[in-house]
Amino acid sequence: MLLNRKLIAKVLSAVASVVGAAMLLPAAVSAVYKEWDVFKIFLLCALPVILAGQIVMRSIPSQRSEDLRMRDGFFIVGVSWLAMSLIGAIPFVLSGAIPNIVDAYFETASGFTTTGSTILTEIEHLPRGILFWRSFTHWLGGMGVLVLTIAILPKLGIGGQKIMRAETTGPTMDKISFTVNDTARTLYKIYLVITGMEVVLLLFGGMDLFDALVHTFGTVGTGGFSSYNASVGAFRSGYIEWVIGIVMMMCGVNFSLYSNIYRKTPGRIFKDPEFRVYVGIIGVSTAFITVMLMIHHFYDGFAEALRSAFFQVSSIMTTTGYGTTDFDLWPLPCKFVLLLLMLVGGCAGSTGGGMKVIRAILVYKLVRRGVFRKLHPRAVSPIKVGDTTISAETMSGVAGFVILFLFTTVISTALISLEGVSLTTALSSVIACLSNIGPGFEAVGATQNFAFYSAPAKLLLSVLMIAGRLELFTVILLFTPVYWSRKK
């Protein structure tokens, strides 16, 4: 196989430098809280990575953007997420917070992929610097470390279009500006605005700055790591639950739609078919679960039932994974709805995981057209989303993804069931990792964790997190003979 090794090394070194530089923030947090041992560990991890990355970047001359092919882009993306998780795991191991390297890799992969599954049982006893780094990986991974890297690629003499195509989620991505580099910068401006807004709102709700930052990272990145064992429920605040619930919902929307606010055409957001379906699913699911909770007397009042239902629906639909209650105790119909939301996930181009709302729409339209053609075999019935006619190539890709998603789920569930867990635990573990949700049901429910799994199972689940974050094909391609063929 022919790969542009120099260009790949240059981009990977840029990614490593970004991750290394990101470690300086938790180092500063450790210094603020006088955690000097942790402070030294972060410096020991960050400085060599930054130095090595800069040396490699500067030693390789700039090249034309055309020299980076799609094959190279997929390789960079797949290897980057595997390597980032390994680099990010080192502070956990050296600090003793997670001494086992497999556990540390699982936790870091869960952070960068914004999954939120954890092996930790005593979160509140960890140093502040470690807790900050654990949640900051959500923020970095939410929009994609590679998208951040793309924003600086022009300075490296590298175009980022092929990398962004390999990394971004969903079958399509709306174009914000004329160049992909401008798009990356615009996305991060929006990301920063939402981040700052939530921090301020949480501070008004009585959170201290540390907790506000940690929970904002988990919300905006749709990750779900908290600094408390009881997650958001530890605050016992309706105000905080509504703020986080609404921001989670916002971050499950295609971020490119928010560019309409900059263009002073916010009304276009509500005309987007995927957005309307996304809001509709959340609304209907919230109403249904609220009614079920009231019927089964889980809450005394309507307002409390509504808040709890909306928060959990928003958390699961956006694949964030925050919790305010043990939803594993809810009535079976509620759990079934949550399971469906796990599969669907957020919108394409959002920080959420899952199969994406747009794919659910297209699969529904494909099935409906199939039924229609049984009655009218000669009719020409193109599939449309809004005013856009979907090409056969796109529909083929969507069908292929759904089949691959289901096939991966079945095979992975069979492998995880060898751990001796129940089918519900095995299936929900796989879906929680593949859809980047975090909690599942039963042994991996909202108040449980993944610590009991063996090392091979944790590694499998870690790979599923990364594969789910990168839309499966990006990772699967690296394991196919066609990809490694020497043909151009």
pLDDT in tens, 248-292: 999 999 888 887 777 777 778 888 899 999 999 999 999 999 999
Give how far the C-alpha of residue 76 lies from the chain's centroid of Cα atoms, to the nearest Å.
Answer: 18
Tokens of 458: 């944790």
State phi, psi for 384 to the nearest 5 degrees: -125, 145
pLDDT in tens, 284-330: 999 999 999 999 888 888 999 999 999 999 999 999 999 999 999 99
pLDDT in tens, 382-420: 888 887 888 888 888 888 888 999 999 999 999 999 999
- 8 A C-beta contact, residue 129 and residue 38: yes
Residue 143 has pLDDT above 90, yes or no: no
User: Rounded distance, CA 375 to CA 356, Å?
Assistant: 30
Q: What per-residue confidence (pLDDT) applies to 308? A: 95
Q: Which of 145, 136, 216, 223 is nearest to 184 (CA)?
A: 145
Q: What per-residue confidence (pLDDT) applies to 207? A: 95
User: Rounded distance, CA 474 to CA 360, Å?
Assistant: 20
User: Rounded distance, CA 133 to CA 22, Å?
Assistant: 9
User: Rounded distance, CA 385 to CA 78, Å?
Assistant: 31
Q: Which of 111, 115, 117 is nearest to 137 (CA)?
A: 111
User: Rounded distance, CA 407 to CA 70, Å?
Assistant: 25
pTM, two decimals, is: 0.90
